[in-house]
Amino acid sequence: MINYNSLVKKWAQSLELYDFSEAQNLVEWLFEHHLGLRRVDMMHFLEEKDLPQALLSDFERLKKGEPIQQILEKAPFYGREFKVSRDTLIPRNETEELVHLIIKENPQPHLRILDIGTGTGCIPISLALEMNSAEVYGLDISEGALQIARENAKEFKTDVKFYQIDILKEEISVNELDILVSNPPYIPEKGKALMHKNVLDFEPELALFVPDEDPLLFYRVIAEKAKKCLKKGGKLYFEIHEDYGQEVLNLLKKQGYSKIELIQDLNDKDRIVKGILG
Ligand SMILES: C[S@@+](CC[C@H](N)C(=O)[O-])C[C@H]1O[C@@H](n2cnc3c(N)ncnc32)[C@H](O)[C@@H]1O
């Protein structure tokens, strides 16, 4: 017999890809998922040989660097658990900050909102649930991602409507929008060298990378197309790569947007650019 606390420490030591405190969190997350154990159960005693096979095989996947959210097929976002898959980006904390800003700044009822590059649908679904009777749409190029987004919308009983569109090639079919939001792919290919194995091997390239020679590709195309589908006075909100804040800001200026702002995330990195049409 071994107490839960010691077992967590023992397993965490063998997760070599993570620092020890992160490894402990991941192991606790697995135990909570499979056995319902929490930190307060640290003195609970377990027999290692009786642990369920599913827990052991999930732990093996964790050791190989697979993100825990993909092992458990769910990720927390803005107070809810969203289904994720190998076709979707795992929602990030920075994107929760973007959602929070939009909710805070737009208390009016019945706003029409579109999210471009929706992935799990975490942005439009959270906005639909948190805002005042908003009419919300999401689009993505990936059918696999859209399937997960639709499952999430059903799970949370929202009627967010999703479309499959390649934003680089097709026109946006929703118009008269009050808000257009996007967290598009924004990591230049050269950034791959610096990225953690568990992102590179397990998250879709389609969600992450842009060509080195054109890192602002999505921002330029979306800002241009947004002019046709935003109402006058409509708002554009972008999540951005921390190295490109000033450049995205200049791009919106050049495209004629007004009241443009660059906003930092909780880690003080440039993370959001917003502007108003007209
Ligand atoms: C950085 S992920 C963001 C996912 C989600 N909105 C989030 O914040 O967690 C970018 C998304 O853009 C989608 N995407 C990539 N290229 C696209 C394109 N040409 N047209 C539409 N969506 C695209 C990807 O499939 C991916 O879901």
| Mean pLDDT score of the chain | 95
Contact 162, 121 (CB under 8 A): yes
Ligand 1 atom at minimum distance from 115 CA: 6
Q: What is the distance in A from the centroid of ligand 1 to the CA of 36?
A: 34
Distance in angstroms (rounded) separating the CA atoms of residues 25 and 10: 13
pLDDT tens string for the chain (278 positions)?
Answer: 899 999 999 999 999 989 999 999 999 999 999 999 988 888 889 998 999 999 999 999 999 999 999 999 999 999 999 999 999 999 999 999 999 999 999 999 999 999 999 999 999 999 999 999 999 999 999 999 999 999 999 999 999 999 999 999 999 999 999 999 999 999 999 988 888 777 788 999 999 999 999 999 999 999 999 999 999 999 999 999 999 999 999 999 999 999 999 999 999 999 999 999 98
Alpha carbon distance 252, 61 (integer Å): 43
Q: At what angle do helices 53-63 and 20-35 cross, to 10 degrees?
A: 150
Q: What residues are in contact with ligand 1 under a 6 Å CB criterion?
A: 89, 91, 95, 117-120, 122-123, 140-142, 145, 165-168, 183-185, 206-207
Residue type, 142: S
ipTM reported for the complex, 2 dp: 0.99
CA atoms of 55 and 120, how far apart (whole Å): 25
**For the segment 188-201, what is each residue's pLDDT rounded down to a tens digit?**
999 888 887 777 88
Q: Which two tokens stand for residue 102?
A: 């939009």
Taking the C-alpha atoms of residue 13 and residue 20, their distance in angstroms, rounded to an integer, is 7
The structural domains of the chain, with segments of one domain joined by +, span: 2-64, 77-277
Q: Are 178 and 231 in contact (CB under 8 A)?
A: yes
CATH 2.170.16.10 fits 77-277, yes or no: no
Position 141, amino acid: I
Is 88 among the annotated ligand-binding positions?
no
**Mutation test residue for ligand 1: of 82, 89, 237, the one with most atoms within 8 Å of CB:** 89
The reply to whether 257 sits in an annotated binding site is: no
Tell me, in angstroms, the distance from the centre of ligand 1 to residue 181's CA. Answer: 12
Find out whether 204 and 142 touch, Cβ atoms under 8 Å. Answer: yes
